[in-house]
Amino acid sequence: MTDSSLTQYVKRAFEYKAGGNFKQAIENLYKALELDPESSEVLAEIAGLYLELSNTDKAIRYYEQALLFDPDNVSVKFKLARVYKQVNLVTKALPLLRSICEKDLNPTYIAEILNVLYLESDFEGVIEFYQKPIVANSTNAKIHFYAGASYLALGNPVKARELYQKSLQYDKSDYNIVFSCANLLFDEGKYKEAAQTLLSSPVAKTNHKTFYLLGEICIAEDNINEAINNFSKACKLNPRNPLYYYSLATAYSVNGFMKEAEENYHNAVKLSPNNLFYAYTLALVYYQTKQISKAKEKIESILKINPENINALVLKARILTDENNVVEAEQILKEVLKKEPKNDEALYIRSQVFKKLGWWEKAIEAIDIAIKIVPESTEYISEAVIFNIEAKKFSDAEKLCKKLIELNDKFIFAYIKLAEIYVKQKRFSDALENIDKILELDINTPEAYIMKAKIYKENKLYEQAIDFVKQAITLSPDTNEYYALIADIYYINNQFKDACKYYKEAAQFDVTSSDLRYRAAKCEQNLGELHEAIADYSIARRLKPQDVNLAMDYCNCLCDTEDYKTALEVLKQALNYCPDNETKNKIMQKADFINQKIMANLSGFQKFMVRFKK
């Protein structure tokens, strides 16, 4: 009766199990266990059912009890080992698997022990086990996969790739194998093979990791549009992964779609609010799209969490520099460079601080260090060219231009700056050679025509110079320097009316320029248009009150209209800006001359009144 009852409980348990009613199945097995407390089969079945219910603690307890009564049961040992591995008790799983494999080199058991050894970082142990002929010749894909992963961990990617590909021959349905093989090929720069590996597996085509890796492959191959498509698919398949949104945003940014970039960086930050690099990148996009207040707000939120976040501090210094707050920017950059003396971006921004101050030597020193850190940065080298030209270090600037051309023989900026250097050195044939190269690369480069105009101007070929400037203006009609140059050429050639017209045009683009108004006033004075000249002198003087030469010319124009009172007032204010006694004496002499004029006019007026009264 007891045996019959036991069989009945077990039979019912299996029926409940088949119907997915695990709790009822367990209840029946407990009743069976009451009849036979030492039944390893019943204990193992109870353990398996608890595992189905995700109750790993009870599963382990009953598998362990089953082993007590049947210590050589391979199936129970294997199942217990797998549960140990599941709950990260790999040190308990390993002895069980070793004891199994000592008696039975079943491929399933071998794959499991290799997996556990790998999880324990015992990569040499994996390889040692794999080198057994029966293991190495197995058709079990996982065996070759874990061996490959161990070779990779030990720094042998070639052997790893060989074993990954061998594992793929036996099983293309295991996504971990497919992805790992493709990822290794990607790391080795074998982009087409990596993509082919992914796309040849039916299981890969629906996995978000596939499209993320395909996106990375497209980025490496400069296929940004396709990268965007793949990253977008990865985001749709797994909308909770911030890295996918970050990568998609970066791809959009590279392609110039800043609105889409901002949206996806925002998604990344939303999903991973504690990732300060994501937050910094969003702040950087705000800066790049001129949303400065948002950029500042995001920077401050980063610094609130981590006041020493280098990325945020450097971007803050960049914004301060743009806003001409160079003192605070320099304080931040000094602190950053104390901690990270090789932070090339901080050095670059520091060079911009010195540029704002006109400290060209210091700017050169800062950008030179940045170039040593990133020797192939065309941005840094280009800035160094500009600084050296401003510092009149033409030889150094020339070398840097030639370095830029070595890096990219189609880099127009380098040829433009070379031509500019040669013009300043009056090496006109060298300049013309570079100008021809510029126009060969792009016939619509306005700087090339401007350079030609300067050369012809230097050689007093004014008509030809004017024609070249007009070509440049046609190509770039909003550049005030071009209008100023053509005006200068007209002025030198005594064509004051045309000169005045172009000075006024240039002044419309740069309303803060005193020199343009000053030159327009001189043209009007030469044309006898004294009231117009006075109006422009007045504007120029408000913009630059410290210019003594301007004050003297303004005074002369006022005297031409016999407005001596205003002329004296202009001279009086000019005395505050005299650089030396010689200039001061000239102003005093002019003032005496005007006073004499006033007195002479007053005397003449008095004589007239006497005659009038008679």
558 contacts 597 by C-beta, under 8 angstroms: no
Q: Which residue has the higher pLDDT, 132 or 373?
A: 373
Q: For residue 48, how far is the Cα from the chain centroid?
A: 53
Residue 302: both structure tokens together: 């980063």
Is a pLDDT exceeding 50 seen at residue 610? no
Whether residue 123 is found in the same domain as residue 75? no
Last residue of a domain, one of 24, 52, 87: 87
For residues 41 and 119, state if they share a domain: no
Query: For the segment 194-220, what is each residue's pLDDT rounded down to a tens digit?
Result: 999 998 888 888 899 999 999 999 999
Q: Sorting pLDDT into bands at 50, 70 and 90, what band is 29? A: confident
Q: What is the pLDDT of residue 605?
A: 37
Q: d(Cα 473, Cα 461) in Å, to the nearest integer?
A: 19
Question: What DSSP string runs through 366-380?
Answer: HHHHHHHHSTT-HHH
Q: Is residue 220 part of a domain?
A: no
Residue 13 CA neighbour count, 13 Å, CB half: 24
- C-beta separation of 421 from 398 below 8 A: yes
The Cα 490–Cα 478 span in angstroms is 20
User: Which pair of structure tokens corresponds to residue 7?
Assistant: 């069989």
Give the other-Cβ count within 10 Å of 202's Cβ: 10
What radius of gyration do the chain's Cα atoms show?
41
Nearest Cα neighbor of 307 from 267, 284, 336 is 336
Question: Please, are residues 84 and 90 in contact by the beta-carbon 8 Å criterion?
Answer: yes
Torsion 431-433-439-441 (CA) sign: negative
Q: CA-to-CA distance for 73 and 91, rounded, in angstroms? A: 20
Q: Which secondary-structure segment (H or E) carries 260?
A: helix 258-271
User: Has residue 153 been placed in a domain?
Assistant: yes
- Domain residue limits at 31: 1-87
Q: Is the pLDDT of residue 18 over 60?
A: yes
545: Cα separation from own chain's centroid? 43
pLDDT band at 3 (very low <50, low <70, confident <90, very high): low
pLDDT score for 593: 86
Tell me if 415 sits within 8 A of 393, measured CB to CB: no
Q: In the chain, what percentage of residues exceed pLDDT 70?
A: 97
The answer to whether residue 609 scores a pLDDT higher than 50 is: no
36 token code pair: 């036979």
- Characterise 580 by phi-psi region: left (phi > 0), alpha (psi -120 to 50), beta (else): beta
Residue whose structure tokens are 């948002």: 294
The encoded tokens of residue 118 equal 């790998």
User: Residue 335's pLDDT is what?
Assistant: 96
Residue 56 lies in a domain: yes
459 falls within a domain:
no
Query: Residue 53: inside a domain, yes or no?
Result: yes
- Look-up: residue for tokens 């997915």? 20
CATH number at residue 119: 1.25.40.10
State whether 79 and 131 are in the same domain. Answer: no
Taking only the tens place, the pLDDT of each residue in 73-97 is 999 999 999 999 999 998 999 999 9
Domain boundary among 164, 194, 224: 194
Last residue of one domain, picked from the residues 161, 194, 227: 194
The per-type count for the chain, helices as H runs and strands as E runs, is: 36, 0
Place 2 in a pLDDT band, splitting at 50, 70 and 90. Answer: low
Q: Count the domains in the chain.
A: 2
What is the pLDDT at residue 603?
52
User: Can you read off the two tokens belonging to residue 200?
Assistant: 């040849």
Please check whether residues 115 and 187 belong to one and the same domain. Answer: yes
Q: Is residue 336 part of a domain?
A: no
What is the dihedral angle through the alpha carbons of 302, 308, 310, 312, rounded to the nearest 10 degrees?
30
Asked if residue 315 is part of any domain, the answer here is no
* Structure token digits, residue 20: 């997915």
Per-residue pLDDT tens over the stretch 374-424: 999 999 999 999 999 999 999 999 999 999 999 999 999 999 999 999 999
pTM of the model: 0.74
pLDDT over threshold 90, residue 499: yes
In a domain, 402, yes or no: no
**If you search the block for the tokens 């597996």, which residue do you land on?**
201
Whether residue 53 is found in the same domain as residue 113: no
Whole-number average pLDDT of the chain: 91
Lowest mean pLDDT across 130-144, 264-278, 388-402: 130-144
Tell me: pLDDT of 604 over 50: no
- Are 80 and 111 part of one and the same domain? no
